[in-house]
Amino acid sequence: MYLGFSLKNLNILFPMCSEPLSFAPCFSAGEVEAVNMTIPNTLIRGALGGEALLSVRYSSSSLDPPVIKWQLQREKAVTVVQSVGTDIVGTLRPEYQDRILVFDNGTLLLHNLRLSDDGTYEVEISITDDIFPGEGDITLTVDEPISRPFIHMESSSVLELTENFVLNCSHDNGTRTTYKWFKGGKPLTNESRFVLSPDQKWLTIPRVLMTDEDIYSCTVGNPLGNMSSLPIRLAVYRRSSVYIILSTGGIFIFITLVTVCACWTPTKKCEYVCDWLFVSDLPWDGLETCPWWTPSLTRRQLEIGTTTPSDPSRHKA
């Protein structure tokens, strides 16, 4: 909670003390009037597209309406709004049109928050009858909510002793993010055998061991909250096991090919078509499977027997 008033406007003339040769200004506490301001919360968290209530309260012995001024701290202060009571004075800047509401106690409501609204806001409330205005500031953070993260990696399985295997904690939305990694439900740090990038978004396993087979997950957080990825299991295989699987598969394929080749025999069409007396009696379809077939042969050549195989004895039925 913030409570205070400004002492910056000291260019006023105080009554002189009655003692002779005294030139120091003097006044009693009861004679000084000031606007006392109270700020319940000096840090406000806002979400992109949402709204933020910058709440203040003030007290004064004066019944006059307050003059309220809100500014956003930048290299050069930007006036957000100035009002007498709830009546806005002048024209709002384009970026604040239809997004500003001032309450009679000095509170400011911002609608449809933008990332550019992030910053520290200064408020000043002054009343004509009071010497010192009330002043305070509120910090507003504006962030984009985080979408559910997911773990990206080249493969969910890896060979033992593979080097520099990388897991990436990815997400589509979110600002001002922080990352945490978990293996088997327990947090990982750079103090372990694993290597985390400076922002901890990337997890690298320098040399994969069988003990690295486990369930991994990551959590992404920002001022608005946290979101965790779905857990994913990383399978690690021994290199010797992979060699056995590959060699067994190769042997199986080789045996299959040998068996098929040994059992294959030419079709009956090819056997009979070698007897050129019956070429015209055989169907045309399937002749291209015969050993002597060439694309240049035509049906007419076969029917009248104008072509003969180069070695008729090879094709005798």
Structural domain range at position 186: 150-238
Do residue 166 and residue 204 come from a single domain? yes
Q: Global pTM?
A: 0.64
Summarize the confidence of residues 222-249 as an average pLDDT: 83
Which of 202, 223, 238 is a domain's end point?
238
Domain count, the chain: 3
Summarize the confidence of residues 154-181 as an average pLDDT: 96
Which of 143, 169, 199 is a domain's end point?
143
Do residue 90 and residue 47 come from a single domain? yes
Q: How confident is the model at residue 292 (pLDDT cuts 50, 70, 90)?
A: low
Which of 127, 143, 159 is a domain's end point?
143
Q: Could you say which DSSP state residue 276 is in?
A: G
**Phi/psi of residue 103, each to 5°?**
-95, 160
Tell me the C-alpha distance between 227 and 178, whole Å. 11
Confirm if 178 and 208 have CB atoms less than 8 A apart: no
Q: How confident is the model at residue 62 (pLDDT cuts 50, 70, 90)?
A: confident
Q: How confident is the model at residue 181 (pLDDT cuts 50, 70, 90)?
A: very high
pLDDT above 70 as % of the chain = 66
pLDDT at position 259 over 90:
no
**Three-state secondary structure string covering 126-177:** ECCCCCECEEEEEEEEEECCCCCCEEECCCCEEECCCEEEEEEEECCCCCCC
CA-nearest of 239, 182, 181 to 210 is: 239
Q: Say what the pLDDT of residue 43 is.
A: 98
Summarize the confidence of residues 86-95 as an average pLDDT: 94
pLDDT above 90 as % of the chain = 59
Q: How confident is the model at residue 240 (pLDDT cuts 50, 70, 90)?
A: confident
Mean pLDDT of the chain: 79
pLDDT at position 111 over 50:
yes
Instruction: Flag whether 127 is in a domain.
Output: yes
Do residue 187 and residue 59 come from a single domain? no
Do residue 33 and residue 113 come from a single domain? yes
Instruction: Flag whether 245 is in a domain.
Output: no
Tell me the C-alpha distance between 103 and 57, whole Å. 10
pLDDT at position 304 over 60:
no
